[in-house]
């Protein structure tokens, strides 16, 4: 049966700009989960998505109940299909700009945002949710980026099992990655920890030694593969090599938070990174502006991103209900 889609009404007669209850920027696990909650609350929702989810390089996704070892892109396609039951439109594109706008004097009171797509299309929203994810900035080592999402991995829970009992190298970004090596030791007895100059505490070093994890203090300069593109090992600064079936790294998480910053959402420096702050309902410091998923939290998990989006979607609906009550009372005079 063809889908019945209720497009939002233009805000003013003759205006080409449509007003939605909520515009969601980013249609990954977080953004689509929020859209589901809002759609089920009969909110009109526009999701604008650039189509580059963080885990797109991975063929399979793991640790996601009911979807273990399936394609991450299939999950999002299924999510989009589910949303067609509701008043949710999903549009491909990039949001280029956002601005807070004055509420229209002729319409109901409350915050409002204008969203501009790279196509030039404009939309108004009563609430704005930013769920734009983050970028993994990989260590600058030859050959490493080519293997990202295949032989080079990030999270022992997401990809560790696939390399159980295989030869694993951990390339550290800091001493904290000794813990990542210990998690991988749970899966394989053949783990080498490449410190890359990070200074380990005596306790961390003896913990690695005690569990048979080799500490390599020569710098890794290359990750190399065979002719078929399968990862074969790492090369060291003096030409030495370790054979490896998998390399685990700890990329720097760079949130896609420009839109939040443009709207002057408050941020705080934590662990050397400036993070936009949200409360447990995904509220930023700007009234009506919300954020969910990896843009405001770097946990590497689809279930976490879904939960963050779902809870934030419900919180936005509750916020709109409060506003609807105020507007209804005001209208009665
Ligand atoms: C290689 C790799 C493998 C992983 N494997 C797993 C795994 O097996 N299991 C697991 O649980 N987790 C895994 N993760 C983690 C998982 O990818 C993230 O936790 C999850 O994708 C976060 O969801 P999100 O919705 O916050 O962001 P994303 O999934 O990154 O989605 C954000 C979306 O916003 C869009 N966007 C960004 N800016 C704009 C803009 N201006 N306008 C419009 N759209 C925009 C992007 O194109 C993207 O589609 C993996 C991560 C990586 C890097």
62 touches ligand 1 (CB under 6 Å): yes
Q: How many CB atoms lie within 10 A of CB 25?
A: 26
Q: What number of H helices and E strands is found in the chain?
A: 6, 19
* Nearest residue (CA) to ligand 1, atom 38: 132
Architecture of 139-248 per CATH? 3-Layer(bba) Sandwich (3.50)
* pLDDT, position 105: 61
When mean pLDDT is compared across 69-83, 112-126, 186-200, 262-276, the lowest value belongs to 262-276
Question: What is the pLDDT, as a whole number, of residue 106?
Answer: 60
Looking at the CA of residue 294, tell me the nearest atom of ligand 1: 26
Q: Please determine, for residue 196, whether its predicted confidence score (pLDDT) is greater than 70.
A: yes
Question: Does the beta carbon of 39 sit less than 6 angstroms from any atom of ligand 1?
Answer: no
Ligand 1 close to Cβ of residue 10 (< 6 A)? no
| Annotated domain spans of the chain | 18-135+252-332, 139-248
**Ligand 1 near 308 CB (within 6 A):** no
pLDDT at 236: 98
Atom of ligand 1 nearest to the CA of 95: 42
Residue whose CA is closest, atom 48 of ligand 1?
A: 53
Whether 285 and 124 have beta carbons less than 8 Å apart is answered as: no
SS3 291: strand
The yes-or-no answer to whether 18-135+252-332 and 139-248 have a common fold is yes
C-alpha to C-alpha distances, 152 to 67, 129, 184, 247, 281, nearest whole angstrom? 22, 32, 14, 5, 34
Q: Which of 83, 113, 93 is nearest to 17 (CA)?
A: 113
Are 188 and 168 spatial neighbours (Cβ–Cβ below 8 Å)?
A: yes
> Spelled out in words, what is the top-level CATH class assigned to the domain 18-135+252-332?
alpha beta
Give, using CA atoms, the residue closest to atom 53 of ligand 1. 55
Mutation test residue for ligand 1: of 25, 28, 65, the one with most atoms within 8 Å of CB: 28
Mean pLDDT over 95-109 rounds to: 79
Whether 57 is in the pocket of ligand 1, judged by its Cβ within 6 Å, is yes
Segment 260-284, tens digit of pLDDT: 999 999 999 887 778 999 999 999 9
Give the 3-state secondary structure of 191-216: EEEECCCCCCCHHHHHHHHHCCCEEE
Q: If you measure from the C-alpha of residue 312 to the centroid of ligand 1, how many angstroms do you get, rounded to a whole number? A: 17
Supply the pLDDT for residue 10: 41
């Amino acid at each position: 049966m063809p889908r019945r889609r209720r497009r939002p009404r233009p805000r003013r007669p003759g205006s080409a700009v449509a007003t939605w209850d909520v515009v969601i920027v980013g249609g990954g696990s977080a953004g689509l989960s929020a859209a589901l909650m809002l759609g089920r609350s009969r909110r009109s929702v526009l999701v604008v998505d650039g189509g580059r989810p963080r885990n797109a390089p991975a063929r399979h996704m793991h640790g996601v109940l009911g979807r273990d070892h399936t394609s991450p892109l299939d999950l999002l396609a299924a999510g989009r299909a589910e949303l067609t039951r509701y008043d949710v439109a999903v549009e491909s594109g990039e949001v280029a700009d956002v601005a807070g706008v004055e509420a229209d004097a002729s319409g109901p009171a409350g915050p409002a945002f204008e969203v501009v797509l790279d196509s030039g299309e404009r939309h108004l929203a009563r609430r704005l949710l930013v769920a734009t994810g983050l970028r993994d900035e990989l260590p600058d080592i030859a050959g490493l980026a080519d293997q990202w999402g295949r032989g080079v991995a990030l999270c022992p829970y997401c990809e560790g099992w696939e390399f159980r009992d295989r030869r694993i190298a951990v390339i550290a970004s800091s001493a904290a990655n000794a813990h990542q090596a210990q998690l991988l030791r749970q899966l394989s007895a053949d783990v080498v920890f490449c410190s890359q100059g990070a200074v380990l505490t005596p306790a961390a070093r003896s913990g690695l030694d005690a569990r048979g994890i080799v500490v390599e203090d020569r710098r890794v300069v290359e990750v190399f593969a065979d002719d078929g593109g399968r990862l074969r090992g790492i090369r060291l600064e003096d030409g030495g090599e370790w054979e490896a079936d998998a390399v685990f790294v700890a990329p720097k998480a760079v949130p896609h938070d420009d839109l939040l910053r443009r709207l002057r959402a408050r941020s705080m420096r934590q662990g050397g990174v400036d993070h936009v702050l949200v409360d447990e309902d995904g509220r930023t410091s700007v009234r009506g502006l919300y954020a969910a998923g990896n843009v405001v939290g770097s946990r590497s998990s689809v279930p976490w991103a879904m939960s963050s989006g779902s809870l934030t979607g419900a919180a936005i609906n509750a916020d709109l209900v409060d506003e609807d009550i105020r507007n209804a009372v005001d209208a009665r005079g």
